[in-house]
Structure 1
Amino acid sequence: MSEPVPNPAPRAAAPLSADLEIKDAQLIFSAVWADLLEHHAGDVRFPNEFIWLGGAPGAGKGTNTPFIARARDITAPPIVISSLLTAPQAVALKNAGQMVGDREVIALLLEELLDPRYRDGVIIDGFPRTKVQVEFLKLFYHAMLDLGGRDDSTQDANKPMFRIALLFVTEEVSVERQLKRGRVIREHNRQVRESAVGELLEERVTDLDPGLCRKRYKGFKDTTFEALQSLRQIFHFHFIDAEGDLPEVQRNIVREFAYQSSLELSPEVFALIQNIPIATQLARHARQELVRRLEQYGRENPDLFRGVVELIESKLLPIVQAHAMSGHAQINSEEALLDEPVALRMMIDVFSERGFHVTVDIHRIDVPVRVDPQTWEIICRTKKVFQIEIRYPPSDIRRGH
């Protein structure tokens, strides 16, 4: 019995549709870009950093956008695509009976991005949302690269940094938050109507019906989420878990947007500095390294190590204890034992192991010894003084008073 042959038509339709979308995006972008360059006589300067922010309904884009801006030192307000469609230019188009389609949206967006207040960085809320808009984004990026490549003197200034940031929540969380928002707004409006104080807020039908809430989430998952995921291999991609409470979500944002020199520096500059360790990496294994060194001192230089410990116990520790209230002791020592570099390292490590923070400055002072009777030249000897600064938690006797 032969196997049924599946109909290949549905599989063939998808690539054809995708090809048409890409072609449409290319035609529209080319026309908009040409108009923009002509209108501004080729003198265009876009932001240095773009954060293209997307998120499921109820993911908290409005709540978290200011925090993301602070995390990236962006001072300009975000560009919200839904608000851009109510801007005077968009309203004028509608009043003239014209549709505000993809061409008009991208033209409005690119014109807005030329505003000097966005020069250092900008967050764009709600773009891209569709596959066509994803193609616009790719075309825009390459157009900026070409723009920067025209003149070596402006290449760095026009080299764009694109970041895709996705605030993600599950369907259950999304629906719950949408319905909660609807209840809060409805209660607010009830109080405004009863008291005649305050302003009414827009009540979205989609925030009141669980079925519509799920439909909105499905629309996001099927369209926007898939579109943004397609950019993962092209641009810096930040997938941010937005399901927890606000402090947890903000910790996730900080972790995602932490400075990453390999991403943000040019390859040439990063190659020069990459062998210098990152401070947090040093601290990560500092305790293990300290233990290893102390054990090595005991094995390889037991007599010297014992002498350093005796010096600490007999001469340094009494001074430290006398300053216990302040948590800070400064000691000048001329101990010959510390002339040995290994001994100095031992002293610092022993204090560190016991919870003290120690720094040592070495000062060399010329001390007159005699005068040459023939030349009257003053003969000096060099005295080495070790200035040891020791810090530790102060006494808490007076705390609370």
Structure 2
Amino acid sequence: MNIVLLGPPGSGKGTLAADLIRLYNFEYVSTGDIFRHNIREKTPLGLNASEYIHAGQLVPDHVTIAMIADHLKQPRTGSGILFDGFPRTVVQAEALDRMLMQMQTELHMVINLVVSKETVVERLSNRRLCVDCGRGYNLVSLPSKVPDICDQCGGDLIQRADDRPETIRTRLEHYRDSTKPLIAYYQEKAILTSIDNEGSIEAYTQRAADAIAKAQRMGKWRP
């Protein structure tokens, strides 16, 4: 089964993704991870993306699409693919449809995570990210074993400048405005499922698992 996770910053996509990978053996395709790899390895695409990032500009669709397409040429490793951070635009969504068609598969489900503005502000204010591997933590709900140190690689944990309360609300408004066309695109294809991502990690993971089970019963996917 191939799934796209949609949700604003602080919606819990990374945490939910980790649980779904554990439950279903999905291959995780994260735009952030792929960007970091290409930039670190100084690939042509990574160097191209770096130019936009250093200039404070959004990386164009064609660069992001090329990175994902290049990654999907590698042998598959799971029962399906879980996309996090891609697509972000209708142009990217249409490109993903073409990529999956070339792989003789399709996108089966889009999980749209719904959270309140207050919850997002609280989560992001407490979020910390590893400067080396990008793994995310939360000072309240998902702290590292050693304060300010990543459990996975030992890197330093930092708070992003745009994870401060004064900038979070602006980011949320931008996300909602920019993703409205994408959500409409997937609603039209009848593969969008919105999930309440409030409450405990266990609670919203169960809601996602229930949605996947419903998709299985409807014949969208068989393990």
Which TM-score applies when normalising by structure 2?
0.73
Which secondary structure does the structure 2 equivalent of 1:232 belong to? Answer: helix
Superimposed CA distance per residue, residues 100-157 of structure 1 (whole angstroms, 9 cap, x where no aligned partner): 532222122122123223463111101111232233234445xx1xx58xxxxxxxxx
Q: 1:205 aligns with which of 137, 154, 161?
A: 161
- Counterpart of 2:63 in structure 1: which amino acid? E
Equivalent position of 2:43 in the other structure? 92
Which secondary structure does the structure 2 equivalent of 1:243 belong to? Answer: coil
Which secondary structure does the structure 1 equivalent of 2:82 belong to? Answer: strand
In 1, Cα distance between the equivalents of 2:98 and 2:194?
23
Q: Check 1:230–1:66 CA distance in 2 against 1; reply closer, same or farther (3 A cut).
A: same
Shift of residue 79, structure 1, vs aligned partner = 1.1
Q: 2:209 aligns with which of 243, 254, 275?
A: 254
Equivalent position of 2:133 in the other structure? none
Equivalent position of 2:126 in the other structure? 180
Equivalent position of 2:86 in the other structure? 127
Higher relative contact order (CA 8 A, sep 6+): 2
Is contact 2:25–2:78 with CA below 8 Å preserved after alignment?
no
Q: 1:63 aligns with which of 15, 33, 47?
A: 15
Q: Check 1:205–1:161 CA distance in 2 against 1; reply closer, same or farther (3 A cut).
A: closer
- Structure number, greater radius of gyration: 1
Equivalent position of 1:163 in the other structure? 109
Q: Check 1:226–1:178 CA distance in 2 against 1; reply closer, same or farther (3 A cut).
A: farther
| Count of aligned pairs between the two proteins | 196
Question: Which stretches in structure 2 are left out of the alignment for 5+ residues?
Answer: 53-58, 129-137
In 2, Cα distance between the equivalents of 1:113 and 1:199?
28
Shift of residue 219, structure 1, vs aligned partner = 1.5
Q: 1:107 aligns with which of 66, 75, 80?
A: 66
Is contact 1:164–1:235 with CA below 8 Å preserved after alignment?
no
Is contact 2:97–2:106 with CA below 8 Å preserved after alignment?
no
Superimposed CA distance per residue, residues 321-353 of structure 1 (whole angstroms, 9 cap, x where no aligned partner): xxxxxxxxxxxxxxxxxxxxxxxxxxxxxxxxx
Superimposed CA distance per residue, residues 238-279 of structure 1 (whole angstroms, 9 cap, x where no aligned partner): 21110121222122112111153433269xxxxxxxxxxxxx
- Counterpart of 2:195 in structure 1: which amino acid? I
Shift of residue 86, structure 1, vs aligned partner = 1.8
Q: CA RMSD in A?
A: 3.2
Q: 2:193 aligns with which of 214, 238, 245?
A: 238
Q: How do 1:295-310 residues align onto structure 2 when only pairs under 5 Å count?
A: none
Is contact 1:164–1:228 with CA below 8 Å preserved after alignment?
no
**Percent identity of paired positions between Structure 1 and Structure 2:** 26
Question: Which stretches in structure 1 are left out of the alignment for 5+ residues?
Answer: 1-48, 149-157, 267-401
